[in-house]
Amino acid sequence: MALTFYNTLTRKKEVFTPMREGRVGLYTCGPTIYNYAHIGNLRTYIFNDVLRRTLEHAGFRVTHVMNITDVGHLTSDADTGEDKMEKGAKREKKTVWDIAAFYTDSFKKDLITLHIKEPTIWCKATDHIKEQIALIQRLEKNRVTYTIADGVYFDTSTFPSYGALARLNLKGQKAGARVEMVKGKKNLSDFVLWKLSVPKDGHPELAEGSHRPQRAMEWESPWGKGFPGWHIECSAMAMKYLGEEFDMHTGGIDHIPVHHTNEIAQSEAATGHPFVHYWLHGEYLVIKDAEKMAKSGENFITIPTLIEKHHDPLAYRYFTLTTHYRKQLAFSWEALDAAEQGLKNLRERLYESGDTIGELPDTIKKKFTEIIGNDLDMPKALAYLWNIVKSKKPGAVKRAAAQEFDTIFALNLLAHKTESVPEHVMILVRERETARTKKEWQKSDDLRKRILEEGWVVEDTPQGSHVKPV
Ligand code: AMP
Ligand code: ZN
């Protein structure tokens, strides 16, 4: 059955046709690892995961590439401001490398906790400086760049369709622009490809022979010591691992007007042909009562925050699935509680429907495939499962449906009877699941013993951990 997706490029739902039969190349902009990922970021990665699982459910072999931004992402989109990594390092009085290692690790843990599949290929910006320099040189050869004191810039006036992805009105942009523009830039929308550590005209305090401020991250290049701009890393790494033209690229909606617009311009100006066929973007998670929560220091919510507050992190995954990925989703603790209750009820009903899993009727499979294939309609798919679970269908069919749908929902629907297992035991069970995913067998064994001491036995089934009283 055909899959259709809303393509930001055309602003239409389109039937998905991959470049190579049965295979999909998918690139997702990864996190900038100067802090924990917040639950808003993670909403975008859950949407990605649902996309990937849907493609796999439809039989495609997906090569999923995700980058880790560990250099070049400045605090301002106007190519000014501080590098976010250096800001994080200052805040925590650590080196940028320590910051990068710590938050990459915490991000990967979040993915495991939320049942987000690991990409096929991880790639770090700082491991691909050579590729980024080569791409900038290619652009230079094509005469679409210029060099000013601050560094090498992409000249957007050379790329006639610049801004098409975002439907940017460049004239309007110029007229109403705030003036925060690097000196020497020709057009407001031009963006940096290589930023020099010390501008060629120097800082006023940098008289000849004076001390050069030491940047933690800088590399030699044909233009001088410096570091790549944020956008070039994604083009260079996507092309390296997926080819110069590939199927799909995803991210949050904030990437449309600048980051992805610039990725398209520099990639297509280098190669002379289209870069990506389908662009998919996830809407934002917004915090309801953000002001109130900010005052109580609560509006930066992470997965560890949810766990500290004794929430099942999968309840957050369930919560995000109740709204279509292209609609804004408002977070509040009450809404999360309601989702958590919903998930518990669903698991409970499935638990009560017996312990056999029957054959899944073709009609159900077909309808489910149709729903998810229609631009990932998760709210409708969840409602459909609820209908089946509440119906008079045999328990074995309900469980078969849950098992099939859970290949995409990934909510441990058949795993355990959560209601009766105390939360402090569930925390240990989840910790153990994480340890098992990371193949930390000793830790997993120790946790099994602690769970046993609490009066519970944990069994590993193909659907996940099953917890029973001793
Ligand atoms: P960053 O680490 O800032 O590069 O962001 C990582 C991902 O999270 C990007 O795809 C952003 O578009 C996305 N993102 C940032 N804020 C939110 C939010 N509030 N809701 C959903 N996605 C977000
Ligand atoms: Zn990117």
Domain 295-469, CATH 1.20.120 — does that match? yes
* Mean pLDDT, residues 398-426: 85
Domain ranges of the chain: 20-282, 295-469
* pLDDT at position 127 over 80: yes
Q: How far is it, in rounded angstroms, from Cα 311 to Cα 114?
A: 12
Nearest ligand to the C-alpha atom of residue 323 = 1
Rg (CA), the chain: 24
- Give the atom of ligand 1 at the shortest distance from the alpha carbon of 286: 19
Ligand 1 centre distance from Cα of residue 44 (Å): 6
* pLDDT at position 466 over 80: no
The torsion angles phi and psi of 20, rounded to 5 degrees, stand at: -120, 130
| Binding site membership of 137 for ligand 1 (Cβ less than 6 Å) | no
* pLDDT at position 355 over 90: no
* pLDDT at position 333 over 50: yes
Q: Which residues contact 96 (CB under 8 A, 6 or more apart)?
A: 70, 85, 86, 88, 89, 216, 217
Ligand 1 centre distance from Cα of residue 127 (Å): 23
Nearest ligand to the C-alpha atom of residue 263 = 2
| Binding site membership of 68 for ligand 1 (Cβ less than 6 Å) | no
| Kind of pairing between the strands at 12-15 and 4-7 | antiparallel
Q: Where are the alpha helices (DSSP H) in 66-128?
A: 84-92, 96-113
CATH class for domain 20-282? alpha beta
SS3 260: helix
Q: How far is it, in rounded angstroms, from Cα 436 to Cα 443?
A: 8
Predicted local distance difference test score (pLDDT) of residue 178: 53
User: Using an 8 Å Cβ cutoff, are 151 and 223 in contact?
Assistant: yes
CA-nearest residue, atom 18 of ligand 1: 40
Report in angstroms the alpha-carbon separations of 12 from 44, 165, 323, 410.
20, 12, 20, 28
Predicted local distance difference test score (pLDDT) of residue 72: 79
CA-nearest residue, atom 8 of ligand 1: 41
* pLDDT at position 143 over 60: yes
Predicted local distance difference test score (pLDDT) of residue 123: 98
Q: Which residues contact 388 (CB under 8 A, 6 or more apart)?
A: 364, 397, 398, 401
What H or E segment, with its residue span, contains residue 464?
strand 464-469
* pLDDT at position 161 over 50: yes
Q: For the chain, how are helix, strand and coil distributed in percent, rounded to 5? A: 45, 15, 35
43-57, 86-100, 408-422: which is most confident: 43-57
Ligand 1 centre distance from Cα of residue 326 (Å): 14
| Binding site membership of 254 for ligand 1 (Cβ less than 6 Å) | yes
Predicted local distance difference test score (pLDDT) of residue 207: 43
| Binding site membership of 185 for ligand 1 (Cβ less than 6 Å) | no
Comparing C-alpha atoms, which of 65, 87, 63 is closest to residue 76? 87
Q: How far is it, in rounded angstroms, from Cα 221 to Cα 218?
A: 9
Predicted local distance difference test score (pLDDT) of residue 273: 98
Ligand 2 centre distance from Cα of residue 420 (Å): 44
What beta strand segments (E) does 190-275 contain? 191-196, 226-228, 246-252
pLDDT one-digit tens code per residue, 76-109: 877 877 888 888 888 988 888 899 999 999 999 9
CA-nearest residue, atom 11 of ligand 1: 252
Q: How far is it, in rounded angstroms, from Cα 309 to Cα 337?
A: 11
* Mean pLDDT, residues 110-129: 96
* Mean pLDDT, residues 127-152: 97
Predicted local distance difference test score (pLDDT) of residue 212: 43
Q: Which residues contact 183 (CB under 8 A, 6 or more apart)?
A: 148, 149, 150
* Mean pLDDT, residues 9-17: 98
Considering only residues 197 and 297, tell me which one the structure prediction assigns the higher pLDDT.
Answer: 197
CA-nearest residue, atom 9 of ligand 1: 252
Ligand 1 centre distance from Cα of residue 258 (Å): 14
* Mean pLDDT, residues 310-321: 96
Predicted local distance difference test score (pLDDT) of residue 462: 63
* pLDDT at position 227 over 70: yes
Q: Report the share of the chain in percent with pLDDT over 90.
A: 70
Q: What is the mean pLDDT of the chain?
A: 90
Ligand 2 centre distance from Cα of residue 231 (Å): 6
User: Using an 8 Å Cβ cutoff, are 298 and 269 in contact?
Assistant: no
pLDDT band at 431 (very low <50, low <70, confident <90, very high): confident
| Binding site membership of 284 for ligand 1 (Cβ less than 6 Å) | yes
| Binding site membership of 235 for ligand 1 (Cβ less than 6 Å) | no
Pocket test residue of 34, 41, 293, 323 for ligand 1, highest count of atoms within 8 A of CB: 41
* Mean pLDDT, residues 108-137: 97
- Give the atom of ligand 1 at the shortest distance from the alpha carbon of 250: 10
Report in angstroms the alpha-carbon separations of 305 from 102, 143, 412, 467.
17, 49, 21, 24
User: Using an 8 Å Cβ cutoff, are 376 and 50 in contact?
Assistant: yes
Ligand 1 centre distance from Cα of residue 168 (Å): 21
